Structures are given as structure tokens and as C-alpha cells.
Amino acid sequence: MATVTYEKATRIYPGADKPAVDQLDIAIEDGEFLVLVGPSGCGKSTSLRMLAGLEDVNGGSIRIGDRDVTHLPPKDRDIAMVFQNYALYPHMTVADNMGFALKIAGVPKAEIRQKVEDAARILDLTEYLGRKPKALSGGQRQRVAMGRAIVREPQVFLMDEPLSNLDAKLRVQTRTQIAGLQRRLGITTVYVTHDQVEAMTMGDRVAVLKDGLLQQIDSPRNMYDRPANLFVAGFIGSPAMNLVEVPITDGGVKFGNSVVPVSREALGAAADKGDRTVTVGVRPEHFDVVERTGDQSASLSKDAPAGLAVTVNVVEELGADGYVYGTAEVGGEQKDLVVRVGGRNVPDKGSVLHVVPRPGELHVFSTSSGERLSD
């Protein structure tokens, strides 16, 4: 087992005008499950391949434990990689596929057999050891690919979107299995996915990348509760956090007919940048519905209720709760919003909800730089 350290690690592909991975700094603990997540093209695979030795490192360094592996060939790094397309040898049995790397390394036959059988037991593959890959389901092939990595007992596991070829249900099952297996084996693991739900459910910590730049590295809980910038705020969480640009007023921000208090520090930081607005973020579950009205005109005839008037367009009923997809007028513009409501009390399409963000659950970001201003 070992730590993994990226230190200002940079990859510039030949002919590219900017780095695919730009001065990446990550310190992964011994036995940790770290997930690299971000949209397609953000540099996840490149980061992983740099650690594997499959991609040159053009700046900075990478260490496994206290060994500098920056320029070592892949075979000397003591890592095992699981790819998206399992890359099994079609003409070999499951047992031979799993033991192949050991055979190449000259490990005695009896020892290979023992290790393959042990791994097969862990992965529930014992009865398939004599089969060829084409006679296996997608999930079983994926487990063979895992088995091939496990038998090598590497210092580090690297996995690049290993679940993306599985159907949705199997993906959920297998992600629990992989996370459980990793915890049992205790082998330091770097896992790449574009799926934020996978990242949040599997990782001890999650590192979010965008355009080759690390945005935030944190526990799933902290990532959700305190996203470091607008990108992370919008990327982590489903349905996504509502992000609205609102004017700064005395002591807070104007949210429809209400003023929501915001810390003096956050407003001061925005003012220092010369901003007259901030972008506030509210998760769908953090709105309080203060009033419901039949339709917009009815609410306008009386005293205007508190909060923001959201006209209900679509209601997604999920049983335990429901998501209201609606529109509200914010700063003279129509803005789409998502509000979570109780599953047994969903509003009608066309009705109006008056919502205010729950105190203390408001995220405040700089409109100009995108960085987080609230604590």
C-alpha cells in the first residue's frame, strides 16, 4: 500500500496550445479511494494515465509512496489499471485472463492458481473460471477485469470509468461492490468517472476537474455543503443547485419580495470586487414554501406574499418527495428553478409557490469570479 502524490503535474499534448492537465496538486492517502470527476475532456483520463506511466509528464512530478515515478516505465510502478472496455483476451478462459500478468512475470503456476482462485472467490467468479469472456454477462466481464487487477496485489489501483458499459441497474450494484471491495482490500485507488453521483457515493474524497484545472478536492459531504465555486456548485448534486444572480441590498440580498440575510464578510468581498450583484445558490431541498396560490394573477391582487413567486411548469413525483420545475421572475428575467416538496403534497401545474431559502442554507458566490464568498 502507498500514498500517491501529484505535485504540479502537467501534461501538454504535442501541438496543443494549453495543458490538458495543468499543475495538478493532489495528495492521496494510503488506502484512500479518491475519485476524479468532471465533464468530458476535463483531463481525468490524462491525469490517471500520467500516474500509470502511459502519458508523459511535461512538468511537476508524481510519487507513489516516497518513490518518484514521474519518468518510470509503467511496469515498474506497481500499479494495476482497469479500463472502460475491459480489454479481456477473447481466446483465453477467465482464469487465464486473470492470471496472465502473473504468468508474464514468471510467477510459478501453483501460486498463480491460488491467487486467481482467491480473487475469483472475492468476486463471485469461481464457477466461471473455465469460461471464455464471450460467454459472460457485462457485469461478469467487468469483475474479471477487476480480478485481473486484484491478483497482482499492486500498491495502487487505477480505474477509468470501469462501469460505463453496464446498464443503469447493474452500474448501481457494481459501484457498491467495488467500493466495498476496495475498503476490504485497503488498496489506494484512483477512480475516474464523469458521473457525479458515482463520485459522491464511492469516494472517500472527490476531486473535481474542469479544463485541466483542479477546482476542489474534498469529502463528498463538504463538496455538497460548501462548493468552492459556481462550477462545483452546479456540477455536484442532482437536480442541480439553483443559481440566481441577485442585487445586493443593505445587510443581505433581495430574493423576490424578501431580503435574505447574508454575512457582512461575503457582501464586503463582493463590494471589494466592484460587484453590485452576487450569485446565490439554493439546493432544491433548501427552499421553504411560505405560501401557495392558484395562479399568478390572484397573488398579485393582494399584498405581495414573501419570497419569490415560482410558477409551476412540471412536477416530478418520486414517491417520497417531488420536484417542482418552475419559473420565476428574477431581476427582470425569467429564470428556471427546481424546488423539492413532500411527495404527498405536490402542487398543481400552473399554480404558484412562494419560496424563500432556508436561513443558513444559502450559498453566495461572486458573480464576476465565480468563487465562493459565504463560509
- Closer to ligand ADP by Cβ: residue 44 or 143: 44
Instruction: Give the x-and-dash track for 43-82 against ligand ADP (CB under 6 A).
Output: xxxx------------------------------------
Confirm or reject binding of residue 20 to ligand ADP (CB under 6 A): yes
What are 211's strand-pairing partners?
none
For residue 41, the partner it binds in Mg ion, ligand ADP, none, with Cβ less than 5 to 8 A by kind, is ligand ADP
Give dist(CA 84, CA 44) in Å, integer. Answer: 13
Which of these segments, 38-46, 119-127, 138-146, 247-255, binds ligand ADP (CB under 6 A)?
Answer: 38-46
The distance from CA 128 to its chain's CA centroid, rounded to whole angstroms, is: 33
Closest CB to Mg ion among 45 and 258?
A: 45
Is 19 a binder of ligand ADP (CB under 6 A)?
no
Amino acid at 246: V
Whose Cβ is closer to ligand ADP: residue 12's or residue 170's?
A: 12
DSSP string, 213-245: EEEEEE-HHHHHHS-SBHHHHHHSSSSPPEEEE
Q: Which is nearer to ligand ADP, 44 or 354 (CB)?
A: 44
Q: Is 40 an interacting residue with respect to ligand ADP (CB under 6 A)?
A: yes
CA distances from 50 to 15, 16, 63, 146 (A): 18, 17, 11, 20
| Residue 47 identity | S
Asked if residues 24 and 207 have their Cβ atoms less than 8 Å apart, the reply is no
Q: Which is nearer to Mg ion, 63 or 194 (CB)?
A: 194
Closest to ligand ADP by CB, 16 or 87: 16
Whole-angstrom distance, CA of residue 153 vs CA of residue 207: 25
Strand ordering across the sheet containing 59-64: 21-28, 4-11, 59-64, 67-68
**Rounded CA separation 199/217 (Å):** 12
- Length of the chain (residues): 375
Q: Binding to Mg ion (CB under 5 A): which residues in 30-49?
A: 45
Report residue 8 as a C-alpha cell. Answer: 504540479
Q: Report the residue closest to Mg ion, judged by CB.
A: 45
Q: What is the 3 state secondary structure string of 10-29?
A: EECCCCCCCCCEEEEEEEEC
Shortest distance, position 322 Cβ to ligand ADP, whole Å: 34
Q: Binding partner of residue 43 among ligand ADP, Mg ion, none, CB under 5 to 8 Å per kind? A: ligand ADP
**8 A C-beta contact, residue 88 and residue 142:** no
Least distance CB 44 / Mg ion (angstroms): 5
User: Minimum CB separation from ligand ADP for residue 191, in Å?
Assistant: 12
Q: How far apart, in Å, are the Cα atoms of 49 and each of 10, 55, 56?
A: 12, 5, 9
x/- map, 211-250, ligand ADP, by CB under 6 A: ----------------------------------------
Stretch that binds ligand ADP, among 33-41, 77-85, 271-279, 355-363 (CB under 6 A): 33-41
Query: In 206-365, which ranges are continuous DSSP H helix?
Result: 220-225, 230-235, 264-272, 296-301
Among 31, 41, 74, 234, binds ligand ADP (CB under 6 A): 41
- Which partner, ligand ADP, Mg ion, none, binds residue 322 by CB below 5 to 8 Å per kind? none
Q: Which stretch binds ligand ADP (CB under 6 A): 37-45, 243-251, 258-266, 336-344?
A: 37-45
| CA 158 – CA 138 distance, rounded (Å) | 20
Q: Is 96 helix (H, G, I), strand (E, B) or coil?
A: helix
Measured from the CB atom, is 43 or 237 closer to ligand ADP? Answer: 43
**Contact residues for ligand ADP, defined by CB under 6 A:** 13, 16, 20, 38, 40-46
**Contact residues for Mg ion, defined by CB under 5 A:** 45
